Structure 1
């Protein structure tokens, strides 16, 4: 009976990658800057090797620890999660300042809508700026960011959720030809001057290439998504999915699934680090979220048995002290609970080492990319 859990702390990098300068990210260091800027209480992560990962001394960790470098081109959630699952991309997803008129016309004609916007913007800023026009006209707000995303925002009382989701599904089909990583539904509520996004966000990713998740399902194993993970894979490679509304909700669902699971794999994404604090450059909020995760992890760990595998990592960086509001090209932490093993795992050359490890643990054969760090 094999159980494994991978927790992705979305956006929690540990220092710029060797190729960060090519992305304009030399000097970024999400966790390093956070720990230097604020006094954080992270006793659980520290005891598991976080201090060593950040280059500090301290007591011997009670887990395996290391860092991972992304081999794929890009620095977004889809690319990072796909590589964790064993798919390495040579070509990055495309980013746009404005989407081509041909793409917009195709979506508008099929969905029977007309958009406003088509600009790069922060999600909270765009609804503050254009929310009143949207409510008055009923036209959804379309915008992008520094990532490869096409986002559509609409007030839930103006555009019902099912219609917003259907519009985004149409947009997803047309976005494939432009190699756009994600289409995201961004519902909001409120009144003029007080619009606020709701937790009913929905991501629609491109269909991924074959990943270790497919191999696990084909091998008869349960593969369960928590948070936005399944969305990033267009639902492929999962036997069940549990969308969540926050880090707290994601941690609660993970605990419940783990308690009831005898065998299988849980793939959890905790998005608030990135969505709520990294992009908004909220250093205190980011720190509080890390402390909350640390406390939860400490309480969760007694439920990890000697035959279980727990991996804590990230998909990219999002340094809230860095310039701009974009993701940052960083190495990510690697903390592994695997029985009594206590060793340094070094700097892994690809996130796909996680996929290779899962393939070995579940006995589905050697994975084509990556090197396993646990048996």
Structure 2
């Protein structure tokens, strides 16, 4: 009999600061994204209430009586609060300790490696140090994120194939230990436009101002290359190798690599939720994994009203998702970190995430506090009777006698 696991990640919807914030992230002390959005904006979330979100939040204005889902809390095993690392942890990767460094500290090493690989390399401006590869591709800091975490490999795709950009990106990846290297490109932009979009940030980072360059506007392609991450050890690739269906929707397909998966890019929340329902009509046996990204964007904008509106939109679609589930479906809803728009800054907040696991034949129980987001992948693999991913412990043994039956 066919089985499906539907994983819905609501990007940045944390439920309280991690225990280590006082030592490592004091700016996040008191963060609680979901609770504070309820407190300030009072979104209408009947389906979250019905599933049992208040067994986790303990928000006074929500009456908790009967609830449908097993519930718990997940800790972040990765450092900081990062969507890419969070998603890869969710899919079963054990986070590796990366290091922080501006690109200038690794520039000579990367320059030598690219030249050894046969590329022409220049440093056009000593005042704005970056590498120009074959007069087209810029290797530099990502100036849209936290200091020293990410290097970008940016390209004009009318002049070079994305496959070649990815080869350059992989060469960079092999010679640096930062959290991420992002290979990206867009159409209808010139090499000159890219170079004219290079800026120096106030903290000294140098890189392409991607929105200013218009790289996102037409024909945008991207691949995130993480440090120490192997797709072979993650749930989607394990499922695909077992000849199950795999669908990656929204930001999930941006940050998780799985050869042969059906992929549905998109940022719009309505589109993401509609894609889930569409794939529930298509996938007979396997994994449907989706990410709602607009919540995180609202967090960065410190826009509580917008954040609440996106949660309401997701909640509205949960009615149809639950109604469309068969007796062999497992729905897991969670997040990847926090982004509390009320905390006083616009960056991710290091928060635990909620865990709701719904199965039509399970008696809902308390799953407890788990040590890693990877328990999601471990549980999904266990439910589908697959090889275990690299990281995580299944919680199936916590949730009743029907586990593994059928």
Question: Normalized against structure 2, the TM-score is what?
Answer: 0.75
Q: Does 1:250 align with 2:272?
A: yes
Give the conservation status (yes or no) of the 8 Å contact 2:137–2:165: no
Distance 1:143 1:261, change over 3 A: closer
- In structure 2, what is the equivalent of residue 127 of structure 1? none
Q: Does 1:61 align with 2:67?
A: yes
Distance 1:334 1:308, change over 3 A: same
Pairwise CA distance, 1:324:
2.8
Match of 2:222 among 181, 202, 209: 202
CA distance in 1, matches of 2:235, 2:367: 21
Q: Does 1:344 align with 2:366?
A: yes
CA distance in 2, matches of 1:290, 1:51: 15
Give the conservation status (yes or no) of the 8 Å contact 2:83–2:337: yes
Aligned pair count reads: 350
Once superposed, what is the RMSD of the aligned Cα atoms?
3.4
Paired residues for 1:101-250 under 5 Å: 101-102=107-108, 105=111, 110=119, 143-144=142-143, 145-146=145-146, 148-151=149-152, 159-160=156-157, 163=160, 165=162, 166-167=164-165, 170-180=168-178, 181-183=180-182, 185=184, 198=217, 200=220, 202-206=222-226, 208-209=229-230, 210-233=233-256, 235-236=257-258, 239-250=261-272
Gap runs ≥5 in structure 1: 120-137
Gap runs ≥5 in structure 2: 130-135, 198-210, 397-402
CA distance in 2, matches of 1:299, 1:358: 21
1:148-202 CA-partner distances (Å, limit 9, x unpaired): 3334678xxxx4467484546523430342223241637599999x967548462
- In structure 2, what is the equivalent of residue 16 of structure 1? 17
CA distance in 2, matches of 1:75, 1:272: 17
Pairwise CA distance, 1:103:
6.2
1:71-111 CA-partner distances (Å, limit 9, x unpaired): 2334212221222222222x333334554333675699747
Match of 1:82 among 74, 88, 100: 88
Where 2:175 maps in the other structure, the secondary structure is helix
Pairwise CA distance, 1:39:
1.8
Distance 1:179 1:272, change over 3 A: farther
CA distance in 2, matches of 1:152, 1:367: 30
Give the conservation status (yes or no) of the 8 Å contact 1:205–1:231: no
Give the conservation status (yes or no) of the 8 Å contact 1:98–1:118: no
1:243-300 CA-partner distances (Å, limit 9, x unpaired): 22422222121111111221111111222211x2122222221111111111111232
Give the conservation status (yes or no) of the 8 Å contact 1:254–1:268: yes
Give the conservation status (yes or no) of the 8 Å contact 1:186–1:201: yes
CA distance in 2, matches of 1:139, 1:369: 36
- In structure 2, what is the equivalent of residue 93 of structure 1? 98
Distance 1:281 1:164, change over 3 A: farther
Q: Between 169-178 and 311-320, report the one with greater CA deviation.
A: 169-178
Where 1:331 maps in the other structure, the secondary structure is strand
- In structure 2, what is the equivalent of residue 133 of structure 1? none
- In structure 2, what is the equivalent of residue 329 of structure 1? 350
Paired residues for 1:272-283 under 5 Å: 272-274=294-296, 276-283=297-304
Where 1:325 maps in the other structure, the secondary structure is coil
Give the conservation status (yes or no) of the 8 Å contact 2:141–2:150: no
Give the conservation status (yes or no) of the 8 Å contact 1:2–1:362: yes
Q: Between 163-172 and 16-25, report the one with greater CA deviation.
A: 163-172
Pairwise CA distance, 1:4:
1.0
CA distance in 2, matches of 1:115, 1:321: 42
Pairwise CA distance, 1:113:
7.7
CA distance in 2, matches of 1:152, 1:369: 29
